[in-house]
Structure 1
Amino acid sequence: MSVFSKATAARSRPRSIVLGGIALIGASALVLSGCASSGSGDSGSSSKPAGDLTLKLGTALPQTGNLAFLGPPEEAGVGLAVKEVNDADLGIKIDLTLGDSGDSDNKAYATEVPRLLSEGVTAIIGAASSGVSKLFIDEVTGAGVIQFSPANTSADFTTWDDNGLYWRTAPSDVLQGEVLGNLIAEDGNATLGIIYLNDSYGTGLAKFTKEAFESAGGEVVAEQSYNTGDTSFDAQISAVKAENPDAIAIIAFEETKTIVPGLAGFPSDKLYFVDGNLADYSADFAPGTLTGAKGTLPGLDTAKLGDFTDRLQAFVKDEGGEPLKDYSYAAESYDAVILLALAALQAGSTEGADMAAELQSVSGGKDKGEKVTTFEEGAKAIADGKKIDYDGNSGPITFDENGDPTEATIGIYQYGDDNKYTRTN
């Protein structure tokens, strides 16, 4: 059967994090130093599973809505990981049920999340949008279920009262904002206009980008927001262009396809995108529309992950899907599943709180474990009674006690004449 078949006493943890200064140097490999005031479970007391485990896993990823372009790579990452865990047959099987998160406008999550919870999942992968995750995180974690996002970047989640059940493989926007702001300044721009989505993702990333840009000596001369569901951006575009900025940062999702044509005449090499709209626009814009535009995206260079991307494409083909055009957050989605499976094995349990208590440990965030890079290596080490440190396709991960990755890479990308982007660092 296809892995794509459709089908609680928890601890409280105050959450805080300290971020060091970040310089945009070289490959942008960045390390965050995190601290928190409470622990994430005593992994030293875990026991090996007495028998095979079954993990009921759900997804709330964007099949529809303004981030739908992220759905295919994220669901492919999840599906490939589930297949490889099940094929390994090393003490755990995953029963996967897909669900649609939609967005804050169509509200697909409002029916999908209750459906997943009613089917007894103990972990949900998603959402991609920080704003959407905020709309159901309390429902999920309040039910004793882990919510694990591969793409949420809002800094608000670091301190969310989530009963220790919210985790993510994507770094906070504090990081991406610093990289983007420094990039724009280092490209010689003295003034900046920002058009941003008025939700937790857009407002946070705009704030951190502005802070970094102005700390580097620049000035943000215009800031214009819009709301999910808006279809006209003429007012925002006019207000920003009226200030004659050297560069414009567009912090948006699908709306980018409407915003960019409205900026006709503004130099394309002075446009800057982010992870929410860094996409293949070859079928949307005339050749040359985005030549020289740049953007940022958390994650390792997928061009150097040939084996992983080949496996993704082969998996999608076997499932009867269309070839992937983008790999955004595919690795983070894959690693989320692998980490959950390894945590379940180390806990000897598929209960949400039990697995959550082991996630920091299996990521190498506590206990000096044996370095592993595949599920098979990790599962065998756990079966031998060893602690592990999983480094995945998205990077070292290494969770802090907040459920945030403490190590991350932010890639810098540039568009060519074909409106496709390639990594430059």
Structure 2
Amino acid sequence: MIRIAPLGRVLAVAAAASLALTACGGGEETAAPTSSAPASSAPAAAKGDGVLTVGTLLPQTGSLAFLGPPEFAGVKLAVQEINAAGGVLGKPAVEIDTDSGDTSTNIASQSVDKLLQQKADVVVGAASSSVSLSVIDKITGAGVVQFSPANTSDQFTTYNDKGLYFRTAPPDVLQGRVLGDLILADGSDSVGILALQDAYGTGLADNVQKAVEGGGGQVVSKVIYDPKAADYSADVAKIKEANPKAIALIGFDETKKIVPELVKQGLTADKVKWYFVDGNLSNYGTGKDGFPKGTLDGAKGTQPGAEVSDDFKAKLMTADPSLKDFNYGPESYDATILTALAATAAKSDAGADIAAKLTEVSSGGEKCTDFKSCADLLAAGKDIDYDGVSGPIEFNAAGDPAEATIGIYQYGADNTNKNIAFNTGKIDG
């Protein structure tokens, strides 16, 4: 079992905090926009209209499209349960779905414009950290809550989001620590890292390197690649030249091109230990869109999130019967339920009012685990502490989870993965 050391983090509200220890990032590299507003500035007032409108900004296209179906299903299921329990503020919640694309297009910005025009009170998304960084100023500047189920870039922890950005996925300092510890625990003291060039890829690569080197191992090669490249032979050759015992592949959909190149150059999973991350931990299978049988056999990977119960998987399947991956479905569900509970507690669907109650409804009160029971407690005048399907949820001052779980998965000969362990760590301010 891997032990997670106590975590530290730097908060936007602190002058300094020691770092003892971190889905996703963007499809392509994009510079993080810098807000021109001072840290104390308040968002433009977005008045509620009495109807909770949940907008989604999730991938229907682009390099993280495989994450879209479970995320959309999570939001849809949550809205169905909210409305079955009587809705919010006496009215049914409304869901508006849009595509986030990735940073190779302008889809996200156009989708946000659509959501703001339709008076979304919260935007659930994006999955990609780089996509979120490209629209966070537009969303929070409009006084709307942005609530990501999958952003893991460390940049959001100190970003000037006006108190309107939250996430149910942990920053990459945690996943990096767990992955680095896993590699060392498996007996590999020399590691090659292949990571895509974007906020997620470089950030997670740095955190993995810190964990490996902090544990006495060595990163013998770190290659940051262009996710739009037509060919990855030169990138893989650099890793091969360093002769690592393990390879950490931090990427997205381009993994489907990199894996065959690793095999071609003799770096097969039975000779060099392979490790994946949340951005590419998909059930690839052996069909026409997968890999030859046995390609991934023995490879491992990490994924933020607690174990998804069979019962919740079945519920997600009612929202989308075609699901084959469940990554970040629980986090999307929890983000939506929490938003509805915050609006209920605030007696308002205005973004600033929702944001002001999100921490309150997720900590310190009576435990509850579904919208109806939590809403009933609120109606009775009680404080609540919602614990979700993605795990116990409590936010720190930066809007990050104060505690999170990372799952460890292993592939079989059929190129699909199964969980083999879960590790939980606190993220202290």
Please give the TM-score of this superposition, normalised by the length of structure 1.
0.86
Q: Deviation string for 1:165-195 (max 9, x for gaps)?
A: 0000000100000000010011110111111
Task: Look up the SS of the partner of 2:124 in the other structure.
Answer: strand
Pairing 1:424–2:411 present:
no
Query: Does 1:314 pair with 2:318?
Result: yes
Q: Specify the SS of the correspondent of 2:323.
A: coil
Give the counterpart letter for 1:224 in structure 2: V
Question: In the alignment, residue 85 of structure 2 is paired with which amino acid?
Answer: A
Tell me if 1:148 matches 2:152.
no
CA contact (8 A) 1:181 1:209 kept: yes
- One-letter code of the match for 1:174? V
* 1:266 alignment counterpart: 267
Mapped contact 1:113–1:136 kept (Cα < 8 A): yes
Structure 2 match to 1:376: 372
In structure 1, which of residues 400, 403, 412 is the aligned counterpart of residue 399 of structure 2? 403
CA distance in 2, matches of 1:91, 1:117: 20
Q: Is the 8 A contact 1:76 1:316 kept in 2?
A: yes
Contact in 2 for aligned 1:105/1:229 (Cα 8 Å): no
Residue 5 of structure 2 corresponds to: none
Q: CA 1:331/1:419 → structure 2, altered by over 3 Å: closer, same or farther?
A: same
Answering whether residue 300 of structure 2 is matched by residue 294 of structure 1, we say yes
SS state of the match for residue 408, structure 2? Answer: strand
Q: In 1, Cα distance between the equivalents of 2:151 and 2:279?
A: 10
Name the SS of the counterpart of 2:180 in structure 1.
helix
SS state at 1:54 partner: coil
After superposition, where does 1:156-195 map in structure 2 within 5 Å? 156-195=155-194
* Whole-angstrom distance in 2 between the partners of 1:142 and 1:234: 43
Which secondary structure does the structure 1 equivalent of 2:52 belong to? strand
CA–CA separation in structure 2 for the residues paired with 1:421 and 1:369: 37
- Relative to structure 1, the CA distance from residue 103 to residue 191 in structure 2 (aligned partners, 3 Å threshold; closer, same or farther) is same
What CA distance in whole angstroms lies between the structure 2 residues aligned with 1:395 and 1:18?
25
For the structure 1 residues 392 and 18, does the alpha-carbon distance in structure 2 shift closer, same or farther, using more than 3 Å as the test? farther
Question: How is 1:304-383 mapped onto 2 (pairs within 5 angstroms)?
Answer: 305-317=309-321, 323-364=322-363, 368-383=364-379
Q: Deviations over 1:69-117 (max 9, x none)?
A: 0000000000000111011105442111101000011331121111111
Structure 2 matches for 1:28-67, cutoff 5 A? 53-67=50-64
**Matching of residue 276 in structure 1 with residue 255 in structure 2:** no
After superposition, the Cα gap between the structure-2 partners of 1:20 and 1:380, relative to the gap in structure 1 and judged at 3 Å, is: farther
What is the aligned partner in structure 1 of residue 408 from structure 2?
412
Alignment correspondent of 2:135: 136
User: In 2, are the aligned partners of 1:125 and 1:336 still within 8 Å (CA)?
Assistant: yes
Q: CA deviation at 1:235?
A: 1.4
Partner deviation per Cα, 1:333-381 (whole Å, 9 max, x = no partner): 00000000000000010000000000011110xxx20000000111001
Distance 1:296 1:213 in 2: 15
Number of residue pairs the alignment of both structures matches: 379
Instruction: Within 5 Å, give how 1:250-261 maps onto structure 2.
Output: 250-261=249-260
User: Residues 74 and 404 from structure 1, CA distance in 2 versus in 1: closer, same or farther, beyond 3 angstroms?
Assistant: same
SS in 1 for 2:391: coil
1:32 corresponds in structure 2 to none
Runs of 4 or more consecutive aligned structure 1 residues displaced over 6 Å after TM superposition: none
Unpaired runs of 5+ residues, structure 1, are 1-12, 23-37, 42-51, 318-322
Structure 1, residues 371-417: CA drift from partner, whole Å, max 9, x if none?
00000111001111111000000000111111000111100000000
> Which letter does structure 2 place at the counterpart of 1:297?
Q
Question: Who is 1:77 aligned against?
Answer: 74
1:32-76 deviations in Å (ceiling 9; x for gaps) = xxxxxx99x9xxxxxxxxxx9420111110000000000000000
CA distance in 1, matches of 2:217, 2:335: 38
Q: Could you tell me how far apart the structure 2 residues matched to 1:416 and 1:372 are?
A: 37
SS in 1 for 2:76: helix
State the distance in 2 between where 1:406 and 1:423 align. 23
Match in the other structure for 1:31: none
Instruction: State the superposition RMSD in angstroms.
Output: 2.0
CA distance in 2, matches of 1:374, 1:103: 32
- Residue in structure 2 matched with residue 5 of structure 1 by the alignment: none
Q: Please give the secondary structure, in 2, of the residue aligned with 1:287.
A: coil
Cα distance in structure 1, aligned partners of 2:384 and 2:18: 26
Shift of 1:267: 3.3
